[in-house]
Amino acid sequence: QVQLVESGGGSVQTGGSLRLSCTASGTRVMSNCMAWFRQAPGKEREAVASMYPGGRTTGYANSVKGRFTMSQDNGENTVYLQMNGLKPEDTAVYYCAAGGSRDCSLRSTYQHWGQGTQVTVSS
């Protein structure tokens, strides 16, 4: 059974930083498409960052390019999302997701989801 457990959320002021972690069990992060999504109140869930198997390629939403960095530690079987220069519009519940290994840009690829971690950015 695949489980994804996120941690690292919290409350920061504008311009602050947070690092989210997602530790997987029942699967290897290096063998999957891995991604971070977020959902703000009243809005659709949106993709923030994605990574192809092996961590060789990452993609980012335009709204976070240059501020967020996704990485993985195969030894820890964990993916991270380093978030710098946080803005109030980054406030959301952030979800880790894992799925197949082909097109990591498709939401339908992701079959397994974590429970989410809240990120709140105040002005």
**Within its chain, how far is the Cα of 8 from the centroid?**
11
- Contact between 119 and 48 under an 8 Å Cβ cutoff? The reply is no
Question: Is-contact 33 47, C-beta < 8 A?
Answer: no
Tell me what pLDDT residue 96 has. Answer: 98
The band of 23, judged by pLDDT with boundaries at 50, 70 and 90, is: very high
Amino acid at 38: R
pLDDT confidence bin for 57, thresholds 50/70/90: confident
Model confidence at 119, pLDDT cuts 50, 70, 90, reads: very high
Contact indicator for 99, 37 with CB cutoff of 8 Å: no
Question: Percent of the chain beyond pLDDT 70?
Answer: 100
Task: Give backbone dihedrals phi and psi of 88, rounded to 5 degrees, phi first.
Answer: -55, -35
Q: Of all residues in the chain, what percent carry a pLDDT higher than 90?
A: 92
